[in-house]
Chains A and B, each alone.
Chain A
Amino acid sequence: MSETAAIRGSAVASPQKRGEGLTATALIGPATIFVAVSLFAPLAILLRYSLNDFDKATKTMIAAVTPANYVRFFTDAYYTSTLATTVEVALLSTVVCLVLGFPLAYVVARTQSRFKHLLIMAIVLPLFVGNAVRAAGWMVIFGNKGFVNTGLTWLGLIQKPLEIMFTEKAVIIGIIAVTLPFMVLSLQSVIEGVDRAVEEAAFSLGAPPLTMFRRVLWPLALPGVLAGTILTFILAMNAYATPYLLGGPVFKMMAPLVYNTFTQQSNWPFGGAIAFILMAVTLTLTMAANLLIQRRGRAAISS
């Protein structure tokens, strides 16, 4: 103990400092190398593939450097509409998630109940069930002869089954079920760090609840809002099982498209290009939202 304290205390103890640096390197090194190799190497290979040609007849890749795959994607309405649908679904899911998640996160963050940990468990519980299993569950609920439709028909509220299954609605509901826990947990941890007395101070200074939220709670919760929306958006953009099972053969999103191109069509170059487009769009929109929210936050603060 005293030795470490001495090392920490003296700024000129360079030999010991180097020792600490070596320890740190040894500790974070393996993970860094693993991430680098397992993330960047496949990406680099994929990027190279995406510039190759593809022979449809023999289903083989021909080495080349051509933007053809990217051009094909952006000139075919089928693909661009798939991208548009994906972005739309992801944006809608994220907004609904934020609107639904904030009050829930607030309640969890502020509750004095001794069952708080159970509440958090209940929020995390859905994550214990795999995406595919959960989507299968939604299919049972949404189907034409599913829980919702049989129930409503039996009650005499509808004559014809509602079309939920294989629509954007079903996919968005399915995605929200996956992403809501991430949103709630991100928000909850940040809201918990906001002193309750700060809200009370705003009230006592004459701010009604909505004004308090806009001027105090929202700006202070922004880091959590950012983390939550980014997580939700990325998860929704890349959702695979949910759109595949709940969207059906007609409703198209990017991740199933990438998978199909690779496996069904064996078209690795085009699959690689789609994967890169999906990644680039996700990153760009995430960063744009980041900047926008931060600027909004600053504007709200200084107004």
Chain B
Amino acid sequence: MARLDIDRLAKRYGDFYAVRDVSLQVADGEFLVLLGPSGCGKTTTLRIVAGFIEPTAGSVTIGDRDVTMLPPWKRNSGMVFQSYALFPHLTVAQNVAFGLEMRKLGKAEIGKRVAEALALVRLAGFDDRLPRQLSGGQQQRVALARALAIRPDVLLLDEPLSNLDAKLRQEVRVEIRELQQKLGLTTVMVTHDQEEALTMADRLVVMSEGSVRQIGSQRDLYERPADRFVADFVGRSTFFEGVVEAPGRFRTDGGLSLACDDGTPGRGALSVRPERVGIADTPWTGLDNSLPGTVEFVSYLGALIDIHVRLSPRDRLIVHVANREGGFTPEVGQPVHVGWPATAGRVFNE
């Protein structure tokens, strides 16, 4: 395993920058997740690291080796593809052995390493099956074993779970994360699924329009989003459009006067996380904001209840209430009071 340095990477197609000035450092053994909507440049970045795309500018260093100009077959990176990309004409064991044969290892050594890799992903005994005889989850694990068997310097995962069904996805992401920690694999994963990103990553990189918007831990991104895009993309938020009248005071376009954390005077947006808002049938005391409203929409999500409250003709607030015994669950049309502390409101100036 080795550290990975990406320095001022750019990829231009004509006038369009798919990736622009991306710099990332991944420590030895770290799990870094590139998160962003489709077309944000995360996959292009990963493919540049793998060597499938030549960057327009910048460099990629794996360990002490500048690999920017090296073709993929000289990089020693293990890649797991979204479609798994197993060799359909080779058995499970032959798939896993492929990279080892390319490294001209002895037959005994190959056999040993194939068995090791398959045991690691709990597929011992599946050696002679063909990929088409396996379920999606098993194919995914063969792809992982194949990438691990070559003992790559970096492991690259390109939306590895997006073709699995929801239940299996939850299991596999824990499995991959545990394996990654156990083996100390320097790993870069690309995903558009924020829950997946939050579960697996040591650090996350939020990208949009080819650029890095924020790098940080789960808590950094969720509680201290760098900009409105990150606040919107990671987790859910209500955004009130309006004006910062003075630091700590926000007036929405709908006429509500709200207490907020900070902000410099001018137009902007105030974001409030739904789980930070209290909801009751009497006004709130002891909270900086207490507002009356009417429930417009209620959705039962199991662990929590999603409530939308109309505060003014132009302002609607999302509230999440934990689904617990004796909790307050209003009905549509019911008048309620919502409240939250000033520190829960984050201002993004335009």
Which A residues are within 8 Å of any B CB, using their own CB?
Answer: 195, 197-198, 200-208, 211, 215-216, 219-220, 301
Q: Is the CB of A203 within 8 A of B88?
A: no
Smallest beta-carbon distance A293→chain B, Å:
14
Q: A198 near B99 (CB under 8 angstroms)? A: no
Contact A206 B51 (CB under 8 A): no
Contact among B85, B90, B102 with A206 in the assembled complex (CB-CB below 8 Å): B102
A203 x B89 contact (CB < 8 A): no
Task: Tell whether, in the assembled complex, residue B51 and residue A203 are in contact, meaning their CB atoms are under 8 Å apart.
Answer: yes
A220: nearest residue on chain B (CB-CB)?
Answer: B89
Does B98 make an interface contact (CB < 8 A)?
A: yes
| B103–A204 touching, CB < 8 Å | no
B79 with A207: CB separation less than 8 A: no
Q: Which of B38-79 contact A (CB under 8 A)?
A: 50-52, 71-79
Task: Say whether B295 faces chain A, with CB atoms less than 8 Å apart.
Answer: no
Contact B98 A202 (CB under 8 A): yes
**Do A205 and B98 have beta carbons less than 8 Å apart?**
yes
> Whole-angstrom distance between the alpha carbons of A197 and B52 in the complex?
10
Check A195 against B83 for contact (C-beta < 8 Å): yes
B308 within 8 Å of A (CB atoms): no
Question: Is residue B81 within 8 Å, beta carbon to beta carbon, of the partner chain?
Answer: yes
Q: Contact partner of A205 among B71, B83, B88, B146, CB < 8 A?
A: B146
Q: How far is the CB of A207 from chain B (nearest CB, A)?
A: 5
Q: Which 5 A-B pairs have the closest CB atoms?
A: A206-B102, A205-B99, A197-B85, A201-B85, A203-B72
Contact B87 A206 (CB under 8 A): no
Question: CB distance A206 to B103 under 8 Å?
Answer: yes
Nearest CB on B from A193, distance (A): 10
| A to B CB contacts below 8 Å, 14 in the list | A197-B83, A200-B52, A200-B81, A200-B85, A202-B98, A204-B79, A204-B156, A205-B150, A206-B73, A206-B99, A215-B98, A220-B88, A301-B89, A301-B90
With A216-B87, A220-B89 known to touch, is A197 a contact of B98 (CB < 8 Å)? no
- Which residues on A sit within 8 Å (CB–CB) of B79? 200-201, 204
Minimum C-beta distance from B132 to chain A (A): 13
Per the bound structure, the CA–CA distance linking A207 and B71 in Å amounts to: 10
The CA of A176 and the CA of B102, in the complex, are separated in Å by: 37
Chain B, residue nearest A211 (CB): B102
B85 in contact with A219 (CB, 8 Å):
no
Given the interface pairs A205-B102, A206-B103, the reply to whether A198 lies near B88 with Cβ below 8 Å is yes
**Contact indicator A198/B77 (Cβ below 8 Å):** no
Closest to A203 in B: B72
- Number of B residues near A (Cβ < 8 Å) is 29
Interface string of B141-159 (1 = CB under 8 A from A): 0000011001000001000
A204 touches B73 (CB 8 A): yes
User: Contacts A195-B83, A201-B79, A201-B81 given: A207-B89 contact, CB under 8 Å?
Assistant: no
- Taking each of A195, A201, A301, which has the highest tally of chain B beta carbons within 10 Å of its own beta carbon? A201
Inter-subunit contact A203/B81 (CB<8 Å)? no
The CA-CA distance from A208 to B72 in the complex, in Å, is: 9
- Contacts known (A195-B83, A211-B102, A215-B98); A204 close to B78, Cβ less than 8 A: yes
Docked CA distance A205–B75 (Å): 9
- Inter-subunit contact A200/B72 (CB<8 Å): yes
Nearest CB of A to B154, in Å? 11
CA distance A23 to B99 in the complex (A): 52
Tell whether, in the assembled complex, residue B83 and residue A202 are in contact, meaning their CB atoms are under 8 Å apart.
no
- Report the nearest B residue to A301, measured CB to CB: B89
Min distance, Cβ B130 to any Cβ of chain A, angstroms: 11
Question: In the assembly, what is the distance between CA of A203 and CA of B51, in Å?
Answer: 9
Q: Closest residue to B97 on the A side, CB-wise? A: A205
Q: Indicate whether A198 sits within 8 Å of B87 (C-beta atoms), given known contacts A205-B150, A211-B102.
A: yes
Chain B residues near A195 (CB-CB < 8 A): 83, 85
What residue in chain B is nearest A222 (Cβ atoms)? B89
Question: A197 contacts which chain B residues (CB < 8 A)?
Answer: 81-83, 85
Q: Which residues from chain A contact B99 at a C-beta distance below 8 Å?
A: 205-206
The residue from A204, A211, A220, A301 contacting B75, defined by CB atoms under 8 A apart = A204
